Amino acid sequence: MAEMAQRHSGFHWMLIGSVAMGVIADYLFYGKEFGISYPLFVIGLYLLFIWQARERIQLTFSRDQAFAWSLTVPIFLLALTFFLYDNAFFQWINFMMVPFLLVAQTMLLAKRHQKSWFSFGFFGEMIETVLIYTVKYTSIPFVLLREWVKNRVDRTKYGVAMKVLAGLGISVPLLVVVLSLLSQADGVFGHFLAEIPRRVFDWGSAEAIFRLFLIGFAALLTFGYLYAILGPRLQTAALPLQDQPEEKKIAWDGIILVTILTIINVVYVAFTVIQISYLFGGAEAVLPDNMTYAEYAKKGFNELVTVTIINFILLVSFMHLVSRAQRVIYKIVQALLSLLTVCTSFMLVSAYYRLSLYEEAYGYTHTRLLAHAFMIFLFILFVIAFLKIWRNNFSLLKVYGVAGIAAYVLLNYINVDAVIAKKNIQRYEETGRIDVAYLTSLSLDAIPVIMTLKEDPAVADKIKYLLQERAEELKEDRGWQSFHLAKHVAKSYLE
């Protein structure tokens, strides 16, 4: 026991800081909507981590830690979206994405990992740290508290207190069962028993107890995680990455890959020629019977995207499986993979163009705009893969990881709802068709754009009626913690 206490000594300040974060979390979030509170809480977590890390490890700005420190940018940008925007869809994702990136960054900075960050093994280490070690180390504060009490209380009294607590621990479950049976046996006794909590606790005190429980829960999780990455953990004592013996790479015969790619590319080249002639060559006059141009544009969009994803999986798999032993065969495979990339890119352009035509006919929505963004991202991945085919001096997963984080942060900052509103208004000006109900159901980010229609006599009254309820909601005072810029701007427009 003394050895355990000595091993955990020096972590009292970490516990105090964790409790402080629990109190701050209660003050910022309990009963309130997310707003400026979220980035402020993230800043608090950073301060606590840096304070404790400087006490126990050596934080450096070395080259091997460059990526870990660079994660600060997307973490803060995503946290700031709770203050800048009102998009519930992105807020839900960011609520999980920010902690995910924080865990990745702090594990890298604390060197509490053995796998590279762009490997699947690192993701497994993250899960292990959060779900196993964090939960395991939440018991340490109770060990610290017990040792603190033990050192300040007489040994005899301490022993008596422990026996009393043990007796309570055994008697409480038994008491619950007995009281339940007695309440059922005698209705009057059960009535008086039910009245006791109402007389002892009012709603205010019950809520206070619940909030204290939440504060303690948040403090324990914060401490458990900090201890998991900064405290002693014998299972991961050998932190520096060591060169592991290279596993034998699985490689397919080049002739097999050439055959597969040749067959696939013949089909894709033919498909690409048809796409170019019908979608980009003005071949509307020779469409099949009973098919309009809008129907042709809509039909097959999902299938095209599915084929594109299949091709992406094939491309990455073949790049990994191809053998470089036969140089001529390898060059042929490179050429065929390049052709596959080009044909698939045309499929993406075709799907993108089809969706654009469909939007012009039926309007712009979240799903359609996000589908556009997804296709652009896929196109970027194919460009990176094309470079990888001819230049094998970089890690594909590493570049894809950076590209994915950058693309997601950018998507948060293009203000999706405002873009949707702007596009629908442009379509209205050209065609005279608009779905006012959908337009006014967008988040507060779109309000400044929607209000440009207030001078249009055809839709002004309907927009004013539909936005009346939104204006009433904004009058509610939710505290400064829930303040965000989109709400402030929308309120000024609606007033």
Give pLDDT tens digits for 94-139.
999 999 999 999 999 998 888 888 888 898 999 999 999 999 888 8
3-class state of residue 252 by DSSP: strand
Residue 206: what residue type? A
Residue 15: what residue type? L
- Is it the case that residue 244 has pLDDT exceeding 60? no
**Is residue 434 within 8 Å of 425, Cβ to Cβ?**
yes
Confidence label for 175 from pLDDT (cuts 50, 70 and 90): low
Give the tokens for residue 487. Answer: 């709400």
What pLDDT does residue 404 have? 93
Confidence label for 212 from pLDDT (cuts 50, 70 and 90): confident
Identify which has the larger pLDDT, 35 or 257: 35
The 8-class DSSP code of residue 202 comes to -
Radius of gyration, alpha carbons of the chain = 31
Determine the Cα–Cα distance for residues 354 and 314; give it in Å rounded to an integer. 24
Give the tokens for residue 463. Answer: 């927009």
Give the tokens for residue 224. Answer: 């458990």
What pLDDT does residue 1 have? 43
Residue range 438-470, pLDDT digits in tens: 888 888 888 888 888 888 888 888 888 888 877
Please compute, for residue 408, the number of CA atoms within 13 A of its CA located in the half-sphere on the CB side: 20
Which of 111, 113, 83 shows the shortest CA–CA distance to 98? 83
**Is residue 300 within 8 Å of 271, Cβ to Cβ?**
no
CA distances 26 to 21, 23, 92, 308, 319, Å, are 9, 5, 19, 46, 50
Determine the Cα–Cα distance for residues 416 and 91; give it in Å rounded to an integer. 13
Determine the Cα–Cα distance for residues 405 and 399; give it in Å rounded to an integer. 10
> Strand ranges (DSSP E) for 84-179?
none
Determine the Cα–Cα distance for residues 335 and 341; give it in Å rounded to an integer. 10
CB count in 10 Å sphere of residue 419: 16
CA distances 249 to 151, 396, 399, 419, Å, are 59, 16, 21, 47
Of the candidate ranges 132-141, 173-182, 285-294, 344-353, the one whose mean pLDDT is the lowest: 285-294
Of the candidate ranges 125-134, 245-254, 471-480, the one whose mean pLDDT is the lowest: 245-254
The 8-class DSSP code of residue 247 comes to P
What pLDDT does residue 94 have? 94
The pTM is what? 0.78
Which of 466, 454, 462 shows the shortest CA–CA distance to 493? 454
- Is it the case that residue 245 has pLDDT exceeding 60? no
**Is residue 451 within 8 Å of 493, Cβ to Cβ?**
yes
Confidence label for 11 from pLDDT (cuts 50, 70 and 90): confident
What pLDDT does residue 222 have? 93
Calculate the average pLDDT of the chain. 79
